[in-house]
Amino acid sequence: MIWETVRLSLLSVRRNVLRSFLTLLGIVIGVAAVIAMLTIGSGTTEKVKADISKLGSNLLVVRPGRPAGPGGPGGLDQATRPLGSKELAALVTHLSGARAISPASQKQVRVIFGTESLTSGVTGTDSAYLDARDWKLVSGRPFSDSEIRSGTGVCLIGETVRLQFFGAGDPEGEIIRVNRTSCRIIGLLEPKGYTGFGQDQDNVVLMPLAAYQRRIAGNRDIDSIYVAADDRTPTTELLPRVEDILRDTRRITPDRENDFSIRDMTQIADAMASATTTMTGMLGAVAGVSLLVGGIGIMNIMLVSVTERTREIGIRLAIGAHENHILIQFLVEATVLSLLGGIIGILIGLALAGLASLTLAIPFAPSPAVILLAVGFSALIGMVFGFFPALRGARLDPIDALRHE
Amino acid sequence: MSGSLLITFDKVWKSYGQGEATVHALAGVDLAIRHGEFVAIMGPSGSGKSTAMNIIGCLDTPTAGTYSFMGIDAGRLDRNRRAMLRNLYVGFVFQGYNLLPRTTAVENVELPLIYRGVAARERHDLAMKALAEVGLVGREHHTPAELSGGQQQRVAIARAIVTRPTLLVADEPTGNLDTARTHEIMELLTRLNTELGLTIAMVTHEADVAGYAERTIRFLDGHVASDAMNLEVV
C-alpha cells in the first residue's frame, strides 16, 4: 500500500516534470545552502583549530604589559617594564610542569643573499624554542649551547626563505645577511604553511637570542616567553604558577595588577573554534529560512495538485478509499517531492562545499549528521506543508468531487 | 439470493438550504429494491433521481428518514464507514467513465482492490479476469486516451465488478455512447445481472435504455411518480 503510494507519487512527479522541478527549487536551494554553509563552516572550524595548534599546543605565551582584557591582546602602556633574562631564569629554575621554556624576540627584518632580498620574521631565541612550538628540522641541527651562550651568527631558516634564495637547493652552510650582520645557515625548518590569518609561517629566520639582541634589537629585552606544558599538566594549572613566579620576580605587591600578560593558546583555540561554530550556526539558520520558503512552495503546489485532481479524488472516494488513503497519498507525494529536493540539494551543497574547500584551502568536512538532518528535515517539511493540502483533498465530498470538471 | 430486500427508503427526505430557501430534493420517498433486480431510474433533471442514486450508492445520506442497505442503517454511518460499505458492496459506473487518466486499464481496474488491501499479484489476476469478463482482452495496458468510449466504459464496468459487489450503481452509463455502443454496454449489464445475480440501479433518461431493465422507477419533484415492472423486454 505505502509502496504503491510512493510509486504513484513518483509517477505524478514525472508527469509534471517542469512544475515539480520549479517546486523543488526552493527546497533544493534551501538544503544546498544549509549543507554548504555547515560543511564549509565545520571545515573552517577545523582549519582554525589546526592553525592555532600550529602555534603550539598547550602553550602559554608571556608578554610584557597589562592584559587588555580576557583573551585580548596585551596592551603596552608607557610604564611597561620589558621582560628580561631575570624572568626567564626564574621560570627555568622554579617552574614545574613545563616541557619547554623559551624566550623569543622578533622583528621584521630585511634578509639578503647575493642579489636577492626578502623581508622576513627574524626571531632571537634558544634551542628550547623548537620544542616549545612543536617545530621540527628537516635538515641540519639545532643551536648548540655554546652558540646560544656566545650569540654566534648562525641561523635556522624556514621553507619560504630557502625557496627565495636557494630554490630547491641545499641552503646549509650558506651565509645570509640579516640586517647588516652575517649569519650562517645551519638547518632548515619543516614547512608549516599559512595561518588562517594569512600569515606565512615559513618566512622565518631563527637565531640565538644573544646574537639577535646584540646585532638586531640593540637591547637585552625579551619580547615574549613561551612556556609549553608537559603532558601531565593542563595549561590552566600551569598558568597561575607562571604568574606567581613572575609576580615574585618582578616584585609586584599584592595590591597591584600584573604588568605582564599570559595568554593560553589552548583557550584561544577553543574560543576561536566556538566563534566559528557560532557563526556557522547563524549562517545555517539564515539558510534554514529559505527551507521554510521552499516548504511554502510545496504547500502551494500541493494545493494546486489537489484542486487539479479533485475528480480523481472523487473517483477514489467513490470506489471505497478512506479519508486516510487520500490523506496519505498526498502526504507521501509532498514528502517524496521535498525529499527529492532535499537529496538534490545535499548533492549540490556538498559540491559547493567541495569547491569552496578547494579554493579557500580549508578541509572538506562533510558531516553525516548534518546530511541526515537535512534529509530528515526536508521530509518533515514535505509532511508539515503537505498536510493542509492533503487534508483538504481527503475532506472533499465525493459527490462534489465527481461533479468537478 | 434474489427476492430478499437489498435497499429500502423509509420516508427519505433530502433537503438543501435553510428557512424559506429550503429545497427538498427528496420529499418523503418510500422505495424498495430486492437482490438481483435490474432497476432503471428515470425522471427530468431536478426530479431527485440523482440524489436518490447518491443515497443508494452510499455516497450521500438522507436529511430525514431511514435508508437501509443490506439491513444496515447506512444513512447514519460516518464517511469512512460508508466508504468501506462502498468498497465492499457497491460498484460505480458513470456517464463520463471516470477512469484515472494516464493510468492503464488494468491499473484502473485494480484500484478498488488496492483499497481492500489485496496483494499486488492477486490484484493483477483479478483485474485481468474482470477485463476478460467485459470482453476487453488485449487492451489491458492501454491508457483511457488510447481507448474508445465504449472500451472505456467497459473498463469502468470491469472496475465496478472486480470486487464482486452486491450492487452496481450506473449513472447514465450510455449517455456518451452511440447507438451501437449503447446496445453493447446494455447487453453487458444485462448479462452481468442475469449471470452474476448483480443488482443494478441505473439512472437514464432514454426510454429504450430503461427498457433493458426489469423495472422502471420515475421520479418527479422529489417523489416517486411511478414504479412499474417492464412487461416486454425490448
Task: Please spell the DSSP secondary structure of A190-259, one letter per residue.
Answer: PP--B-TTS-BTTSEEEEEHHHHIIIII-S--BSEEEEEE-TTS-HHHHHHHHHHHHHHHTT--TTS--S
Whether B167 is covered by a domain: the verdict is yes
- How many whole angstroms separate alpha carbon B16 and alpha carbon A225? 94
Q: Give a yes or no: residue B37 inside a domain.
A: yes
Give the chain A residue whose CA is nearest to the CA of B168: A319
pLDDT digits (tens, 9 = 90+) for A26-46: 889 888 988 888 888 888 888
CB within 8 Å: A316 and B79: no
| Residue B10: inside a domain | yes
In 3D space, the residue among A86, A130, A79 whose CA is nearest the CA of residue A104 turns out to be A130
Which structural domain, as residue segments, surrounds residue B42? 5-229
Number of inter-chain CB pairs under 8 A, A vs B: 58
| Dist. CA A104–CA A215, nearest whole Å | 15
Q: CB-based contact (8 Å) between B54 and chain A?
A: yes
Cell of A405: 470538471
Structure ipTM = 0.91
The answer to whether residue B105 is domain-embedded is yes
**pLDDT value, residue A326:** 92
Residues of A in contact with B83 (CB under 8 A): 317, 320-323
Q: Please count the structural domains in chain B.
A: 1
| pLDDT more than 90, % of chain A | 32
**pLDDT tens digit string along B179-234?**
999 999 999 999 999 999 999 999 998 999 999 999 999 999 999 999 999 876 44
pLDDT at A77 over 70: no
Residue B190: HSE in the Cβ half-sphere, 13 Å Cα cutoff: 15
How high is the pLDDT of residue B234? 45
List of residues 6+ apart from A275 with CB closer than 8 A = none
- C-beta atoms of B115 and A318 within 8 A: no
Set of chain A residues whose Cβ sits within 8 Å of the Cβ of B51: none
| Cell numbers standing for residue B141 | 495496458
Task: Give how far Cα B1 sits from Cα of A7, B6, B69, Å.
Answer: 41, 10, 15
Mutate to test the interface with B, among A309, A319, A396, A397 (most CBs of B within 10 A): A319
Q: In whole angstroms, how far apart are CA A47 and each of A58, A284, A363?
A: 18, 19, 7
Q: What is the mean pLDDT of residues B93-112?
A: 91
- Tens-place pLDDT, residues A291-340: 888 888 888 888 988 998 899 999 999 988 999 999 998 999 889 888 88
- Here the CATH number for the domain that contains residue B35 is 3.40.50.300
Residues of A in contact with B91 (CB under 8 A): 319
- Which residues are registered as beta bridge partners of B220? B223
- Using the Cβ of B60 and the Cβ atoms of chain A, whether some distance falls under 8 Å is answered with yes
Burial A277-291 (b: 16+ CB within 10 A, else e): eeebeebbeebeebb
Task: Tell me the chain A residues in contact with residue B100 when contact means C-beta distances shorter than 8 Å.
Answer: 312, 315
pLDDT at A7: 79
H helices, E strands: number in chain B: 7, 10
Distance from CA of B233 to the nearest CA of A (A): 31
Q: Identify the pLDDT of residue A193.
A: 78
Which of B230, B227, B197, B198 has the alpha carbon at shortest distance from B212?
A: B230
The confidence score (pLDDT) of residue A74 equals: 47
Contact A399 B54 (CB under 8 A): yes
| Identity of the residue in A318, A323, A325 whose CB atom sits nearest the CB atom of B92 | A318
Cα–Cα distances (Å) from A37 to A156, A279, A358, B40, B78, in that order, read: 41, 10, 15, 69, 51
Question: Has residue B234 been placed in a domain?
Answer: no
pLDDT of residue A72: 46
Q: What residue of B is the nearest CA neighbor of A314?
A: B98
Q: Does A263 touch chain B (CB under 8 A)?
A: no
Query: What is the Cα–Cα distance from A309 to A287, expressed in whole angstroms?
Result: 33
- Are residues A320 and B116, on separate chains, in Cβ contact within 8 Å? yes
Question: Which residues of chain A from 3 to 32 reach within 8 Å of chain B, CB to CB?
Answer: 4, 11, 15
**B143 in a structural domain:** yes
At B1-23, the pLDDT tens digits run 457 899 999 999 999 988 888 89
Check: pTM over 0.95? Answer yes or no.
Answer: no
A323, B80: Cβ pair inside 8 Å? yes
For the stretch B27-80, pLDDT in tens is 999 999 999 999 999 999 889 999 999 999 999 999 999 999 999 999 999 999
Q: How far apart are CA A84 and CA A313, in angstroms?
A: 87
